[in-house]
Chains A and B, each alone.
Chain A
Amino acid sequence: MANEAHLVRSGPVVLLVGTRKGVFILHSDADRRSWSLDGPHFLGHLAYHVVLDPRDGRTLLVASRTGHLGPSLFRSTDLGKTWLEASSPPAFPKAAEGEEGRAVHHTFWLEPGHASERDVWYAGTSPPALFRSHDAGDTWSPVSGFNDHPMWGTWTQEGDDGTPDGSLLHSINVDPRDPRHLYIGLSGGGVFESVDGGADWEPLNKGCEADFNPVPDPEYGHDPHCLRLHPLAPDVLWQQNHCGIYRMERPRGVWDRVGDNMPRAVGDIGFPIELHPRDPDTAWVFPMDGSDVWPRTSPDGRPAVYVTRDAGQSWQRRDEGLPKEKAWLTVLRQAMTVDSCDPVGVYFGTTTGEIWASPDEGGSWTCIARNLPHVFSVEVADLQP
């Protein structure tokens, strides 16, 4: 996420955790071995995503709603000591008389904009729509080039693809070379690209399977779970998809299923994918069981992170310290992240309220928090702009 993430940072590390019942902040010591828990903030609120702006090291946004109140965004510039609500959270325009309007159910994804556009942020919502802020998240405007695109209803299945927690726009990626070059993921829609700052969009799904669609190699309608662009190699995209792990090189523009190189017994289904901040060939995934009725838990109850160091040609299991059996963990698409230390720290949160950390690129794992609510998201707060 950070535009300067390739720079080596040192500890301590701060983790921002969004849960179904509020926000928690974990602080490490310099060695990333000892952690302390701060929170909850916004107890009882659904906190879908908690993100700190790496460009200033202080602006923190929370995408929030409660089960019963409408959505909102909260902002802090002192790491959660004080909060202010966004003056104008993401919202669709009021529909003309007689026309059916759309309403934001919740903001799901927050993304700081390009390094050259300080105070620009993007937000992805359910129903799937894109919003932009020019004032560090205080006021938001629709990106009408996507939200009102003539194909919006077709691409998004009219904004409701039946996803249990709502159809989502997620995985907003900004090309570090060009602030007008954007990628997004739609759960129930596919990957889309804009080269003009969001004014127009094109599907980018060639080669990616959609085994729930009878049409072979459809142009759109895919189900990307998490899309990542590497800041040092922005012509390489990675995707953990409903149908496997994929990698794409531009300008060729075809998704290759590098997850075919995962062990067959484990498979290549999952939600998150994370990239090494300094090595574009290294990525981590957290496989889940996509067989039968899709339990979406660790295959065979044996959780593990898998890492590739050769652009997906081979994958290695990393489970030292994780439960060896009878652990039915689920890690959602925003609930895995990496820091910029050397070696890189890898972190994930589970829907059973555990946060796991590895200070050695997945080599060994320690549970650094448990008994939290259902974890939606885990992000590293880069406090050193």
Chain B
Amino acid sequence: MKVSIPTPLHSYTRASVVEAKGATVAELLFDLERRYPGIRFRMIDEQDAIRPHMRIFVNRERIADLDESLAPDDEVQILQALSGG
């Protein structure tokens, strides 16, 4: 499925939209890590929590649970909530 990547992570993907696969959001993130080593830890901490400024949307619905199921034609967007200076 297609995954939208925010600009702060383009240094890993070199693209704003990439292909990845997984039956859950967690699996999708591990697939992204396999393809782009280092990218997962910038989004997800060592306790598997989504970092405070990261947002993951599936079909435009924000998800908080990495066990959320995914279908092959789902649209996944990873966004950043910028704040501060």
Name the interface residues of A67-109: CB closer than 8 Å to any CB of B. Answer: 67-70, 72, 85, 87, 89, 91-95, 101-104
Q: Closest Cβ of chain B: how far from A20's Cβ, in Å? A: 10
Nearest-CB distance from B49 to chain A (Å)?
Answer: 7
Distance (whole angstroms) from the CB of A66 to the closest CB of chain B: 6
Nearest Cβ distance between residue B9 and chain A, in whole angstroms? 7
Bound form: Cα–Cα A264–B30 in Å: 59
Give Cα A104–Cα B45 distance, bound, in whole angstroms: 8
Which residues of B25-71 are within 8 A (CB) of A?
37-38, 41-49, 51, 53-54
Chain B residues, Cβ within 8 Å of A93: 46
**A91-B46, A93-B46, A94-B47 known; A66 and B8 CB under 8 Å?**
yes
Q: Quick check: B41 and A68 within 8 Å, CB to CB?
A: no
Please name all residues of chain A whose beta carbon is closer than 8 Å to the beta carbon of B41 when the two chains form the complex.
70, 72, 89, 91
CA distance in complex: A93, B45 (Å): 11
Interface centre among A68, A72, A87 (most CB of B within 10 A): A68
CB of A90, distance to nearest CB on chain B (Å)? 9
Q: How far is the CA of A288 from the CA of B44 in the complex (A)?
A: 39
Using Cβ atoms and an 8 Å threshold, which residues of chain B touch A69?
A: 8-9, 42-43, 51, 53
Q: Which residues of B contact A94 (CB under 8 A)?
A: 46-48
A104 and B9 contact, Cβ closer than 8 Å, known pairs A67-B83, A68-B80: no
Does A72 lie within 8 Å of B38, measured CB to CB?
Answer: yes
Is there an interface contact between B47 and A95, defined as CB atoms closer than 8 Å?
Answer: yes
Residues A67 and B84 in contact in the complex (CB < 8 Å), given A87-B37, A89-B41, A91-B41:
yes
CB within 8 Å of B: which of A100-131?
101-104
Q: Chain A contacts of B43 at CB under 8 A?
A: 69-70
A92 interface neighbour in B37, B46, B51, Cβ under 8 Å: B46
Q: Are A68 and B49 in contact (CB under 8 A)?
A: no
Q: Are B53 and A67 in contact (CB under 8 A)?
A: yes
CA of A89 to CA of B41 in the docked complex: distance in angstroms?
9
Of A66, A67, A85, A103, the contact of B38 (CB 8 Å cutoff): A85
Minimal beta-carbon separation of B6 from chain A (angstroms)? 9
- A263–B44 CA distance with the chains assembled, in angstroms: 50
Q: Mark B71-85, 1 if CB is under 8 A from A, else 0.
A: 000000000111110
Q: Which residues of B contact A85 (CB under 8 A)?
A: 37-38
Set of chain B residues within 8 Å of A103, measured between Cβ atoms: 45-47, 49
A70 CA to B82 CA, complexed, in Å? 13
Q: Give chain A residues whose Cβ lies under 8 Å from the Cβ of B54.
A: 68
Complex-state Cα separation, A171 to B13, whole angstroms: 36
Distance between Cα atoms of A149 and B49 in the complex (Å): 24
Residue picked from A67, A69, A72, most chain B C-beta under 10 Å: A69
**B14 CB → nearest A CB, Å:** 14
Who on chain A is nearest to B85 by CB?
A: A67
The residues in A between 30 and 71 inclusive whose CB is less than 8 angstroms from any CB of B are: 66-70
Q: Name the distance in Å between A187's Cβ and chain B's nearest Cβ.
A: 22
> Nearest CB to that of A92 among chain B residues?
B46
> Nearest chain A CB to B53's CB is how many angstroms away?
4
A68 touches B81 (CB 8 A): yes
Chain B residue at smallest Cβ distance from A89: B41
Q: Nearest chain B CB to A40's CB is how many angstroms away?
A: 14
A47 CB to nearest B CB, Å:
15
Chain B: minimal CB distance from A1 (Å): 27
How many Å lie between the Cα of A67 and that of B45 in the bound state?
14
Q: How far is the CB of A165 from chain B (nearest CB, A)?
A: 13
A101–B54 Cα distance when bound, in Å, is 19
**What is the CA–CA distance of A69 and B48 in the complex, to the nearest angstrom?**
14
A67-B84, A69-B42, A70-B41 known; A101 and B47 CB under 8 Å? Answer: yes
5 contacts between A and B (CB under 8 A): A85-B37, A91-B41, A91-B45, A91-B46, A94-B46
Residues on B close to A: CB < 8 A? Answer: 8-9, 37-38, 41-49, 51, 53-54, 80-84
Identify 13 new A-B residue pairs, CB closer than 8 A, beyond the known A85-B37, A104-B45: A66-B8, A67-B53, A67-B84, A68-B51, A68-B53, A69-B8, A70-B43, A70-B45, A87-B37, A89-B41, A92-B46, A101-B47, A103-B47
Which 7 A-B pairs give the minimum distances between C-beta atoms? A101-B47, A68-B53, A103-B45, A91-B46, A69-B42, A70-B42, A85-B38
